[in-house]
Amino acid sequence: MGPLIPQGIIPMGWDFVIALLIGIAFGFVLEASGFSSSRNITGVFYGYNFVVLRVFFTAVVVAMIGLQYFDYFGWIDLNQIYVLPTFLSPMIVGAIIMGVGFVLGGFCPGTSYTAIAIGKIDAMVFTGGLFLGIFLFSEFFPFFEQFYYSGNMGSITIGEFFGISNNLVTLIFVVIAVVAFYITWRIELRVRKNMIQYKF
Amino acid sequence: MNQEIDIQDRPKYINPYFGGVLLGLVLLITFYITGRGLGASGAVKSAVVTTVDKVAPDHAEQNTYMKAFITDDHSPMFNWLVFESFGIFIGGLLSGALFGRIKKLRIEKSPNITNKTRLFAAGIGGILFGIGSQFGRGCSSGAALSGTASSSFGGLLVMLLMFGTGYVVAYFFRKLWI
């Protein structure tokens, strides 16, 4: 029963080999889906290319359904799955900062690594910025240390927050995804009609 | 005529829904094997801590944020996310080679802006993403994608607010892209 490494089924020594292999698969899918192009990615904000939404939502839904079924079949112990803890106010601030960074930079960290791999200078500068940003954060950490740890809600799940089961959350996600796929497909058709100069 | 050339020039990407299914399966397998999701910004954090620890060890030890990642028995680079992120780069290289997208160094931008503007925006964007990912406990991979997939409320929050903010500010930065 999974997860395999925390349960000791795969020994810890394999951890980094597996990390490398998983990373390769992750990077391959990101690049092959078109995430090594910042103009592809930012299309989601201007309506001319919703590839980010399609890939992202499909992946979330597939992994969510997969985890629920693995649990149902007794293949995985969901209690041993890491649920990212929620720190309400710092996460709100962090997400807003990242949102601005997303539109300005055109990448997120993972996609910028794949863009560097195919020779994009803008991605190299973006990753350099990441380094500088995390450095600045660390240097000034004492000034907002209290804020950083504020609003701790622990490893609360979406279902727990809304008082429903996580199975229902998954179902709601599937419905939202399908509706979003349809609506954004219509929007994309309309926006692209007026855009001839865009060449991915 | 022109449009035909455009279509031929267009890079061949895999179907986004197929890509999404593959990404979802990679994520699911990652959870199944390691009990945790994917990540990306964590590797840069390790690089920052390692660099500061090398250049000014005392300074790193005194920093309340960085000292948590410094141990005596191994370098902060000896970390799951560092190996995984190196894998992301190799994976990108493989896909780029397979689909013929590895070309000479270049800058991708809207034809309406200069290279300098693009690189300046990319740098600022990176800095903001670096800062934001620390407050958000992860970036698009660690918090938004893996967090939401593991039904974390914080993950969902980061995803919605990150993209939501993107839509709010997109208008002001439209010259960068369209």
Q: In this predicted structure, what is the pLDDT of residue B4?
A: 46
**Which of B131, B141, B158 has the highest number of chain A CBs within 10 A, making it the mutation to test binding with A?**
B131
CA of B6: which chain A residue's CA is closest?
Answer: A199
Q: Can you say whether the dihedral through the CA atoms of A157, A162, A163, A168 is positive or negative?
A: negative
Tens digits of residue pLDDT in B68-93: 999 888 889 999 999 999 999 999 99
Q: In chain A, positions 10-39, which contact chain B (CB-CB < 8 Å)?
A: 10, 15-16, 18-34, 36-39
Q: Is B34 helix (H, G, I), strand (E, B) or coil?
A: helix
Residue whose pair of structure tokens reads 């609506």 in the numeric block: A183
Q: Is B106 helix (H, G, I), strand (E, B) or coil?
A: strand
Q: If we measure between CA atoms, which residue out of B159, B150, B65, B39 comes closest to residue A85? A: B150
Beta carbons of B95 and A31 less than 8 angstroms apart: yes
Beta carbons of B151 and A166 less than 8 angstroms apart: yes
Q: Is A120 helix (H, G, I), strand (E, B) or coil?
A: strand
Tens digits of residue pLDDT in B98-128: 999 999 999 999 889 999 999 999 999 999 9
Smallest Cβ distance to B101: which of A5, A20, A118?
A: A118
Residue B56 near chain A (CB below 8 Å): no
Q: Which residues pair with A87 in a beta bridge?
A: A152
- Predicted-complex ipTM score: 0.96
Query: b/e for B25-48, b at 16 or more Cβ within 10 A?
Result: bbbbbbbbbbbbbbbbbbbbbbbb
Reply yes or no on whether the pLDDT at A165 is more than 50. yes
Instruction: Answer whether A33 sits within 8 Å of B23, measured CB to CB.
Output: yes
Beta carbons of A101 and A112 less than 8 angstroms apart: no
> How far is it, in rounded angstroms, from Cα A184 to Cα A177?
10
Q: In this predicted structure, what is the pLDDT of residue B7?
A: 52
**Region of residue A154 (left: phi > 0; alpha: psi -120 to 50; beta: else):** left
Tens digits of residue pLDDT in A68-113: 999 999 999 999 999 999 999 999 999 999 999 999 999 999 999 9
Mean pLDDT of A135-160: 96
Which residues in chain B are closer than 8 Å to A58, comparing Cβ atoms? Answer: 16-17, 19-21, 23-24
**Which of A4, A21, A29 has the highest number of chain B CBs within 10 A, making it the mutation to test binding with B?**
A29
**Which of A104, A139, A156, A178 has the highest number of chain B CBs within 10 A, making it the mutation to test binding with B?**
A104
pTM of the entire predicted model: 0.95
Tens digits of residue pLDDT in A15-74: 999 999 999 999 999 999 999 999 999 999 999 999 999 999 999 999 999 999 999 999
What integer best gives the mean pLDDT of chain B? 93
Residue B137 near chain A (CB below 8 Å): yes
Domain ranges of chain A: 1-82+181-200, 84-156
**Residue A200: is it exposed, middle or buried by C-beta count within 10 angstroms (0-12/13-18/19+)?**
middle
- φ/ψ of A92, rounded to 5, equals -65, -50
